Amino acid sequence: MQDEQLRYPFEEKFKEDLATYLQEKDLIDKMLPDTPDLEEKWVTIAEAYLPDGMREFATYPTVSLGWMMYIGMALAKYWDEDWELYNKVENLYTYLRERIDFDHMDDYICEKVLLLSPNERKEISDIVAKCAARTNNLLRHLPIEPGSRNAFQAYVAVLHQLYYMGAAMQLKRMGYHMTKI
């Protein structure tokens, strides 16, 4: 399902890089999850996130990118916890952001949604930071003009893959394992 959702030609590059990195760390399975419920939420989340994310990108690119990975983790947790309830929330990004604020959304997700211990929080924060830095580096080395339509599409593609990989990571943390039938 995820492959069908790749919208931009360079999105596959982001997906491959993140998947390889996270698989080497055993944080996601070799077979990536099929997440139609979470994928269905992607467009509304992205549309709501873009004003905040783009505003932050110029000064704090890894925050702008990394927060989307936290959002993917939070939605995977909501999916496991009570999707019937959370699926009714009009926009889960706005729901998360309004619990605290954009700058501290990572804290809220780690502490109140994922219920991480301090050690787990540090591990997750380090992984998110590394994934955000990797994708930022790939993004900045694409042969596209900054501020162009292609640059915008690349930014959205990066966010999409970070969201997906965050969800995949959280699903594995909760004990879901992807295997071929």
Per-domain boundaries in the chain: 3-173
- Tell me the whole-structure pTM to 2 decimals: 0.92
Closest CA to 105 of 41, 138, 60: 60
Buried b (16+ CB within 10 A) or exposed e, 40-70: ebbeebbebbbebbeebbeeebbbbbbbbbb
85-118 pLDDT tens trace: 999 999 999 999 999 999 999 999 999 999 999 9
Phi/psi for 117 (5° steps) reads -75, 165
Q: Is 125 exposed, middle or buried (0-12, 13-18, 19+ CB in 10 A)?
A: middle
Residue % of the chain over a pLDDT of 70: 93
